[in-house]
Homo-oligomer: A and B are copies of this chain.
Amino acid sequence: MKQLQPEYTCAIDLVIDIIGGKWKVLILWNLNEGPKRFNELKRSMPEITQKMLTQQLKELQEHGLVSRTALGESHVEYATTDMGKKLQPVLFKMCR
């Protein structure tokens, strides 16, 4: 998981790395309601491509904000972690 040291000279760079880009905040927003499956997330963000959803979910996992749970052969559930839940009010206070 990414930490503040040593490659970041400024925490802002880390924040931008973690929630920057086109999709991460939107994904966190959609997971706010509760755990969702991959295609369920996909449907709630019609404009995202599968590639980007896969990729951004993977990065959110690496940053410890989202968890992935395989519940069956073809049943995967994504949810916000405790850290993700702590981040949400900070983000969403700024969103309308």
**A residues engaging B (CB < 8 A)?**
4, 9-13, 15-16, 19-20, 25-26, 29, 91, 94-96
In-complex Cβ contact of A16 among B20, B29, B95, B96 (8 A): B20
| Identical copies in the complex | 2
Docked complex Cα distance between A69 and B43 (Å): 50
- CB atoms of B25 and A95 under 8 A apart: no
In-complex Cβ contact of A25 among B4, B10, B26 (8 A): B10
Q: How close is A87's CB to chain B, nearest CB, in angstroms?
A: 11
B-side contacts of A12, CB under 8 Å: 19, 25, 91, 94-95
B-side contacts of A94, CB under 8 Å: 10-12, 15
